[in-house]
Structure 1
Amino acid sequence: MRVTLSDEARRLVALFEDETDVAARDCLVDDEFDRVVFVVPPGEMGKAIGPDGQHVKRMERRLDRDVELVEGADRAADFVANALAPAAVYNVTVSENGDRIAYAEVDSADRGVAIGTDGRTIQRARELAQRHFDIDEIELT
């Protein structure tokens, strides 16, 4: 699925690439939670974070906002699991009966982590899964 970026998101992707040498696949500007979420290519998470999180910290200072990273994936189930990180996700099943719903099996101790403060993590996962894989909903099991 092709993701369309706003002018602001394109500017932020260029800044992110300058700071990290990683070309982000997507940028989600979330004014509600005052954060910017970048989707990085599979296998590039460590490089994007930088030593001791230096790249993320530098981006946060430059943007004066929280910066979050999600590792991209080629399969919808893997992407949903990555978007719910750092929660322990055991399995994700995508149902395609009408609406596309991703059922994520999350460790009971990590259910709160998967939801996040004020629903931040699950909201991020839902929006990104919709943008990248046309997933209509994510439900935790």
Structure 2
Amino acid sequence: MTVTLSDEARRYIAAFEDATDATAVDCVVDDERDRVVFVVKAGEMSRAIGRGGENVQRLEGDLGRDVELVEDAPSAEGFVAHALSPAAVYNVTISENDDTVAYAEVAHEDRGVAIGESGRNIEMAKTLAKRHFDVDDIQLT
């Protein structure tokens, strides 16, 4: 799928790549929750985070917003699992009927983490999965 970026998101990606030396393939600016979520090229997550989280901390200071990272994946199943991280996701199944739905099997004790405060984590996972793999919904099992 083709992801369309706003000018603001492109500026954030440029700042991210300068600060981390990692590649961002997408950026979602969440003004409601004052955060920026970057989708990091697969295999570059540790470079993006930096030793002890120093890159993320520096970027948060530079941008004046919370920064969250999601690692890209070649499949919808892998992407959904990464988007729900740090929750323990055991399995993701994609069902394609009228809508494309990802069913994510999440550890019982991590359901709250997957959902997030006021649904912030699962809503962002849904947004990213829609942008990258045309997944209409994510359901936790």
Shorter-chain TM-score: which interval? over 0.9
Match of 1:97 in 2: 97
Q: Alignment RMSD, CA only?
A: 0.5
Which amino acid is 1:24 matched to? Answer: A
Q: Do the aligned residues in 1 keep the contact of 2:23 with 2:44 (CA within 8 Å)?
A: no
Report the alpha carbon displacement of residue 21 of structure 1 after superposing the two structures with TM. Answer: 0.6
Q: Do the aligned residues in 1 keep the contact of 2:9 with 2:28 (CA within 8 Å)?
A: yes
Report the alpha carbon displacement of residue 23 of structure 1 after superposing the two structures with TM. Answer: 1.5
Structure 2: distance between partners of 1:104 and 1:51: 30
Match of 1:35 in 2: 35
Deviating 4+ runs (over 4 angstroms): none
Report the alpha carbon displacement of residue 98 of structure 1 after superposing the two structures with TM. Answer: 1.2
Query: Deviations along 1:53-106, whole A, 9 cap, x unmatched?
Result: 000000100111100000000000000000000000000001001100000000
Q: Do the aligned residues in 1 keep the contact of 2:36 with 2:68 (CA within 8 Å)?
A: yes
Task: Report the 3-state secondary structure (helix = DSSP H, G, I; strand = E; otherwise coil) of the residue aligned with 1:57.
Answer: helix
Q: Does 1:72 align with 2:72?
A: yes
Structure 2: distance between partners of 1:73 and 1:128: 12
- TM superposition score normalised by structure 2: 0.99
Task: Report the 3-state secondary structure (helix = DSSP H, G, I; strand = E; otherwise coil) of the residue aligned with 2:24.
Answer: coil
Structure 2: distance between partners of 1:119 and 1:34: 15
Which amino acid is 1:91 matched to? Answer: N
Report the alpha carbon displacement of residue 120 of structure 1 after superposing the two structures with TM. Answer: 1.1
Equivalenced residues, count = 141
Structure 1 residue runs of 5 or longer lacking an equivalent are none
Match of 1:26 in 2: 26
Report the alpha carbon displacement of residue 122 of structure 1 after superposing the two structures with TM. Answer: 0.3
Match of 1:9 in 2: 9
Which amino acid is 1:85 matched to? Answer: S
* Aligned ranges 1:56-135 → 2 under 5 Å: 56-135=56-135
Report the alpha carbon displacement of residue 118 of structure 1 after superposing the two structures with TM. Answer: 1.3
Match of 1:52 in 2: 52
Task: Report the 3-state secondary structure (helix = DSSP H, G, I; strand = E; otherwise coil) of the residue aligned with 1:25.
Answer: strand
Percent of aligned pairs with the same residue? Answer: 66
Structure 2: distance between partners of 1:120 and 1:33: 8
